Amino acid sequence: MATINRDGVNIYYEDNGSGPAVLLSHGYGSTSHMWAAQVEALKSRYRVITWDMRGHGQTDSPEDPAQYSEQATVDDMAAILSHLGIEQAVIGGLSLGGYMSLAFNFAHPEMVRALMLFDTGPGYRNPAGREGWNETARKRAERFEERGLDALGRGAEVQVARHRSAQGLAHAARGMLAQFDSRVIESLDKITVQALVLVGSQDQPFLAGTDYMANKIPNATKAVIENAGHASNLDQPAAFNAAVVAFLGGL
């Protein structure tokens, strides 16, 4: 079991294959296991790094809520790459993992070879919209505190996950799923690398955000996976992998 220690917090990661590096970040409530089919499809040509965010899977769940944040998540991503001696990687993720990939590009553009943004959104300019999102995040946190891991729900991406701490997921909702400013959405037109912006055709809450990112990011390629919902990589893995392989092959 591979981990790095970040100020007392053990961050779990997996490192498979060889070639140009690809770092994949999972969605809220899921784990690195959601990428199993992508690791299998890519590892013969790429070095694929997957990991579990704080409060998720085999990564620790600190008791201190202050240890869960966008900044801590971005720093964890950078630390994993640095630990592995990787100076630059394709940075990709689904849902929360996609948003964190954008945040990573904002903080460490020199480490980003390209971006892959799956079933995700860029955040909110409008404070009212952001507050609505954050209210949802707070309610998710409260459900975990009231019901434990039974609050995970039935989404495909969480059904493949195994977690150790409902409180860790609650802290992650308040500190990582919630958003606190508009820096990320305002950075889209300044992204200089190529970006794959992909969404499942049935992922209604994220269709508009996908179009927005595809229009704002200068070197964006949009892909729609038919008959797929929010976890497009799990719903239609062959089509998803084909889109990713085609994008990576064009870099």
Task: Report how far residue 241's alpha carbon sits from residue 18's, in angstroms, rounded to the nearest whole number.
Answer: 18
Residue 228's pLDDT is 98
Band (161; pLDDT cuts 50, 70, 90): confident
Q: Are 122 and 186 in contact (CB under 8 A)?
A: no
195-249 confidence digits (pLDDT tens): 999 999 999 999 999 999 999 999 999 999 999 999 999 999 999 999 999 999 9
> How many domains would you assign to the chain?
1
Greatest Cα pair distance in the chain: 47
Burial 28-55 (b: 16+ CB within 10 A, else e): bbbbbbbbeebbebbbeebbbbbbbbbb
What CATH number corresponds to the domain at position 135?
A: 3.40.50.1820
DSSP 8-class letter at 148: G
Task: Report how far residue 251's alpha carbon sits from residue 134's, in angstroms, rounded to the nearest whole number.
Answer: 36
Task: Give the range of the structural domain holding residue 19, as residue numbers without chain letter.
Answer: 2-249
86-120 confidence digits (pLDDT tens): 999 999 999 999 999 999 999 999 999 999 999 99
